[in-house]
A = this chain, B = another copy of it.
Amino acid sequence: MALGGVIDGVPAGFSVDFDQIQYELDRRKPGQSAIVTQRKEGDKVEFLSGIFEGKTTGTSIGFIIRNEQQRSQDYDRLKEVFRPSHADFTYSEKFGIRDPRGGGRTSARETVCRVVAGALAKQVLEQKGIEIDAFVDQVGSLRWSGEWNPSLREIRENNPVRVPNEEMALKMEEEIRAVRKDGDTIGGCVRCIVTGLPSGLGEPVFDKLHAELGKAMLSINAVKAFSIGSGFDGVSLRGSAHNDIFNADKTTKTNNSGGIQGGISNGMPVDFRVAFKPVATVMIDQETIDVDGNIVEFKGEGRHDPCVVPRAVPIVEAMAALVILDYYMIHESRRNF
């Protein structure tokens, strides 16, 4: 069993920084800290095509990531039961067959592939001066509402929650430890800021930039909501207060728009939030049904995350990078006419 994929459309001649790809994989991997799952996964990526002597060739980049520590036996008892709020039931309904082993399509482990592709996209975007930073801004009811700036990167990476504030990091870590102690899980939010993006990216009508960003984020396991700029909070404002007033240099005094107007980037930072539900697997007895519809008790075992958001930060960045690079290239396709 392995994960992998094909990355198409990467410009040719780009020098790949393999260490940076591994760095992003390490940010996602289990076992990084005391507050995430202690499952060990190697997450070593093997590139099979599309890179020659360290440079992209312009053709498809194939890669695989072997699952070195797969323990199929862990999953035997999952064969007969539909865990509550898992995809067990829906995959069974859809396909009539289900692969209960880890690393499959319903496992969040598939996000490792997104991180590989996204790490590559981030490198390409950095050359254009575009930087993507995500961070945790909420765990349970604890929310950090400060403003992001790049000098906070070090704080973010030096606490296990990946919140860019030391005091809040301690509180959130404490909350996660308490939840874990109870065998339970808790949700959280990731906020993402894209800076250096030129104006003009995004397509009219159905393919607005924030619509595609929203789809990309909602496709990540456990995500239940997406907001851009003022989001749900903006609905209670009046237009006169919500409008982003221009400065003479075409920047705006506020950024309720989240860097996008009418689906097209306006040159301000793109700013969005993503909500992750609490992980469904809890170490507490819960009622559920087996595949025959009998009511049974089920309790999670092993090495699950009490809170997924610290490990979701590189995944959000990866998906953002993929969308932004796509739209950058679409924009390039028409720029020289």
Contacts and interface: CB of A to CB of B under 8 A. Distances in A.
Interface of A: 1-6, 9, 11-14, 48-49, 52, 55-60, 62, 64, 82, 84-87, 89-91, 93-99, 101, 104-106, 110, 124, 127, 138, 140-141, 179, 182, 184-189, 199-202, 204-208, 210-212, 214-216, 218-219, 221, 224-232, 234-240, 242-250, 252, 256-258, 260-267, 275-282, 284, 286-289, 293-295, 329-337
Given A2-B49, A188-B235, A242-B277, 16 more contacts: A13-B97, A13-B337, A52-B97, A52-B99, A64-B64, A89-B246, A140-B238, A187-B235, A225-B227, A226-B227, A231-B275, A235-B278, A239-B280, A240-B282, A248-B294, A249-B293
B84 A234 contact: no
A256 B261 CA distance: 31
A224 to B, nearest CB: 5
Contacts of A336: 332
A282 B243 contact: yes
Contact of A225 (B52, B228, B289): B228
B59 A293 contact: no
A240 B206 contact: no
The 10 A-B residue pairs whose C-beta atoms are closest, nearest first, are A87-B262, A187-B235, A11-B337, A185-B239, A225-B227, A58-B95, A12-B95, A215-B215, A90-B264, A239-B278
Contacts of A276: 235
Contacts of A262: 86-87, 90-91, 106, 221
A94 B211 contact: no
Contacts of A295: 246, 248
Nearest to A276: B235
Contacts of A235: 138, 140, 186-189, 224, 275-278
A245 to B, nearest CB: 5
A18 B52 CA distance: 32
Nearest to A59: B105
Nearest to A124: B337
A298 to B, nearest CB: 10
A83 to B, nearest CB: 9
Contact of A242 (B101, B206, B225, B278): B278
Q: Which of A188, A206, A238, A280 has the most CB of B within 10 A?
A: A238
Given A185-B239, A226-B218, A278-B238, A91 B264 contact: yes
Contacts of A244: 84-85
Contact of A49 (B1, B212, B250): B1
B227 A97 contact: no
A189 B59 CA distance: 29
A36 to B, nearest CB: 15
